[in-house]
Amino acid sequence: MLPEKTVAVVAGREETDREDVLDVLRCRQSVIEGLLLRGFRAYPVDILKEDLFLKGGVTRKLRERSPDCVFNLFEGFGEASYLEIRFAEILESMGIPFTGNPSRALALCLDKDLARRALEAAGLPVAPGRCVLPGYGRNIAEGLKYPLFVKPRMEDSSVGIDNRSLVASEDDLPRLLDERLALFPDGLIVEEYIDGREYNTGFMGSYPYDLMAVSSIRYAPGTEAGSFLGYESKWDTGSDDYRNSVSVPEEDIAAGTRKEIIRLSREAGRVMGCRGYFRVDLRERRGGLYILEVNPNPDINIDSGFAKQSFRRGLSYPDMVARLVHTALDRRALHGRKFPRKYQERVVPGKKDGGLYGARTGRSR
């Protein structure tokens, strides 16, 4: 019998009321419970701001119990998301296996301007747009067709995206740009709004990756026009935006469209250097698909879209998190593994996005 593997499940801890930050701590508890069910010795590790700025602070904390693997849920801090890159660099320097993406992929995906350029250079479709920095010229949107969409350049988790992010006319743009640049001085991305159906794909492993599922975003009837996933729609469970949107895997997607979504998403992951697990967001306009973002280490909480996609592939929540650890320990071990078809045929309804503990038994938690 193989000895149990020890897994340090790492997350940042800070004083905050931001739902996306607090969600990581909830996710950590779910991950630990799932790993324990699959025979791992899993335990939590908090990373504080001082750990990253004190020489050797992170390495000393991680080496206290000599884990075989780090389950990396660290996403920086509320005002310093870039620190997730630094943390991954520390793990790489330690030589310890860790789940999720390498520092280079995290850095490239976090900077939406660099990401757009990399995808375009590879011949992949992105919405026409540009990066806007403080001191921008008033003709910054010249050649772009309204409505335009404005999002922070260096944030994730839909931070800085709300119902004002969709700009209908040239008169409204400068006011919003000035307001948002004061909040996000690293810059903004302004691009043409892609007004068609929205999709996302979840993958595990290394290129050419193992597809979990293709999902589409369903908006409540009457709210489809001009709808998009902002901060409230992802994190504020009491908001109309949250209630009016849901991610649905493998439903009512034309075969040809699905094939192209998978092709573009898989290539986008390769271009960005993704591995471990990631999600690609796309939208459709007049029959053409456009890549919105590549999301390394997306939310994998028990009610997340990624958990729901994994369940559609046949993985219960404990199976999913265990597989991420095994992939980190040996990235070739599960490459190309096939799952019985019976585990791909039904999705048990759960919370907003349906990630379930008892996927194979029909029990939700």
Full pLDDT tens readout for the chain, 365 residues: 456 899 999 999 988 877 777 889 999 999 999 999 999 999 999 999 999 888 899 999 999 999 999 999 999 987 788 899 999 999 999 999 999 999 999 999 999 999 999 999 999 999 999 999 999 998 999 999 999 999 999 988 888 898 899 999 999 999 999 999 999 999 999 999 999 999 999 999 999 999 999 999 998 776 655 688 887 777 677 787 777 788 899 999 999 999 999 999 999 999 999 999 999 999 999 989 999 999 999 999 999 999 999 999 999 999 999 999 999 998 644 444 443 433 333 333 333 333 333 433 332 22
CATH 3.40.50.20 residue ranges for the chain: 6-98
Q: Which CATH architecture has domain 6-98?
A: 3-Layer(aba) Sandwich (3.40)
What residues does 247 pair with on adjacent strands? Answer: 217
8 Å CB contact between 220 and 187: no
What does DSSP say about strands 166-167 and 188-192: parallel, antiparallel, or unpaired?
unpaired
Main-chain phi, psi angles of 77, to 5 degrees = -125, 170
CATH superfamily name and code, 128-192: ATP-grasp fold, A domain (3.30.1490.20)
Give the 3-state secondary structure of residue 100: coil
Say what the pLDDT of residue 224 is: 58
Which class does domain 198-344 fall in? alpha beta
Say what the pLDDT of residue 2 is: 55
- For residue 13, give both structure tokens: 């801890």
- For residue 210, give both structure tokens: 């193992």
Say what the pLDDT of residue 349 is: 32
- For residue 120, give both structure tokens: 């375009």
8 Å CB contact between 269 and 209: yes
CATH 3.30.470.20 residue ranges for the chain: 198-344
CATH 3.30.1490.20 residue ranges for the chain: 128-192
Q: Number of C-alpha atoms within 13 angstroms, CB side, residue 203?
A: 32
8 Å CB contact between 353 and 303: yes
8 Å CB contact between 260 and 289: yes
Nearest 5°: the CA angle 31, 37, 43 is: 50
Say what the pLDDT of residue 331 is: 61
pTM above 0.85, yes or no: yes
Q: Count of CB atoms within 10 A of residue 221's CB?
A: 7
Say what the pLDDT of residue 222 is: 63
